[in-house]
Structure 1
Amino acid sequence: MEAMPPAAKPPASPFTPLDFQLVLLRRMADHNPDLVADARRTLGVSIADMREANRRWQAMLRSPRPRAAAARYRSILGTPESVRARTVGDLECEALLWPVPLWPDLRFEVTLAPNGAVWNEWLVRAPGAPGPEPRTLDDLTPWSCTVDEAARAFAPARPLEGTAPTRFGLSFTAPDAAGVRRSCVAKFTWGLLQRVGVTG
């Protein structure tokens, strides 16, 4: 009897904007698992869904023939909501912004260098949306502000290299509830504040 040919694998479902939000959450779960769990419930997805979305994302990044980052984001998130000129040092860059339903006041921003390479990719405040105005350490709660907002509020802030491409740090001083200025390190994932530690 002839052996039956192996069944063809069903085509993978498209990677959707919902899947991308799960990728953002997966990285944030290391710092704020309770907030991430609440966000998952809002989206109606399980831990397994989040892990699977992250697995597929990592597979895309590590593919032998990976798609250019800007093209990858366009294929997943669609046409950018807006495109803005952005000056980074001496470079005139282009910033592409997409809405993120989980955080209506934020946008996912991808900054492209003049040669089309992705210079940065993270969450920023939506154009025209009122941002927070943190004044003390107590105002720096998880998910309350972006890198740019914290850096402006507690200038001069010094950028710190993150432990992964999606992570970023800031070192600055800020007053505590009693008005005593403290040395701090803030940790961000995908540009959104995750936690603040007092170092002095």
Structure 2
Amino acid sequence: MPSGKQAASAPFTPLDFQLVLLRRMADHNPGPVEDARHTLGVSIADMREANKRWQAMIRSPPHRARTPASRYRSVLGAPETVLTRKVGDLECEAWLWPVPLWPDLRFEALLAPNGSTVWNEWLIRAPEAEGPDLRTLEGLTPWSCTVDEAARAFPPARPLEGTAPTRWGLTFTAPDEKGVRREVVAEFTWGLLQRLTVR
């Protein structure tokens, strides 16, 4: 990857965006992130540089003038899939892009009805992919499921306020392998499960 001044002026690529996702996940779950980094053939410095460039890009005046939707298009290209989702009484567009690190997932940007504001941005299961069979706590391993999959598997799940942007939490009860129901807190980054705390 480019470095220094060259990196600052180089186009921000889909690979760079994957590194931004990983950088946030590393705070909670460094093991899988380290494996993914080796798969991509990048260094820790590359990951930090990509995140630094992303933060600078979304905060700089020229980029702040652009809508989040157009920013994602400029980095990821045209969406692979555009779906219509109902949010209450409103119909919204969901833009989906492939993420090579997670072939069965897609990055989704959920647009407000005005078509420019992004209401939500996270990883979801690809429409054609089969989701995990979540029955017990043992199935809730890092990166095994998305927010909506965990919520559907263990109702009623209660959302928790995230500790930072791009983070979500759920609390619910789920049986362990012996059938004993336990209360848990599941923490997600960019919509993907990172860690589980059993209370």
TM-score bracket for this pair, using the shorter chain length: over 0.9
Q: Which runs of 5+ in 1 are unaligned?
A: 1-8
**Partner residue in 1 for 2:101:** 102
C-alpha displacement of 1:89: 1.9
| 3-state SS in 2 of match to 1:148 | helix
TM-score by length of 2: 0.93
CA distance, structure 2, for counterparts of residue 49 and residue 106 of structure 1: 23
Q: How does 1:82-121 map to 2 (within 5 A)?
A: 82-116=81-115, 117-121=117-121
Please state how far the C-alpha of 1:178 moved relative to its aligned partner: 1.4
Displacement after TM superposition at 1:115 (Å): 1.5
Give the corresponding residue for 2:38: 41
Structure 1 residue 197, shift from structure 2 partner: 0.5
1:61 equivalenced with 2:58 (yes/no): yes
Q: 1:60: how far off?
A: 1.1
The code of the aligned residue for 1:181 comes to: R
| Equivalence for 1:156 | 156
Distance 1:34 1:142 in 2: 10
Partner of 1:71: 70
Give 1:64 shift.
2.0
Between the aligned partners of 2:92 and 2:38, the Cα distance in structure 1 is 37
Report Cα offsets for 1:76-119 as digits up to 9, x if no partner. 00010010000112221110000000000000000001012100
Amino acid at match of 2:157: A
Instruction: Report the equivalent of 2:183.
Output: 183
Three-state SS of the structure 1 residue aligned to 2:143 is coil
Partner AA of 2:92 in structure 1: C
Q: How far apart, CA to CA, are the structure 2 residues paired with 1:89 and 1:185?
A: 27
Task: Look up the SS of the partner of 2:12 in the other structure.
Answer: coil
Aligned position for 1:17: 14
User: What SS does the corresponding residue of 1:94 show, helix, strand or coil?
Assistant: strand
Q: CA deviation at 1:185?
A: 0.6
The code of the aligned residue for 2:95 comes to L
Letter in 1 for 2:75: I
Match of 2:194 in 1: 194
Unmatched tracts of structure 2, length 5 or more: none
The runs of 4+ residues in structure 1 deviating greater than 2 Å are none
- Once the two structures are superposed, what CA deviation does each residue of 1:105-164 show, in whole Å capped at 9, x if it has no partner? 000000001012100000000011010011000000000000010000001101111011
- CA separation in 1, counterparts of 2:35 and 2:184? 27
1:17-67 deviations in whole A, cap 9, x for unaligned? 000000000000011111101000000000000000000000012112312
Alpha-carbon distance between aligned partners in 1 of 2:175 and 2:79, rounded to the nearest angstrom = 38
Query: What is the DSSP-based 3-state SS (H/G/I as helix, E as strand, rest coil) of the residue aligned with 2:61?
Result: coil
Q: How many residues align?
A: 191
CA RMSD of aligned residues (A): 1.1
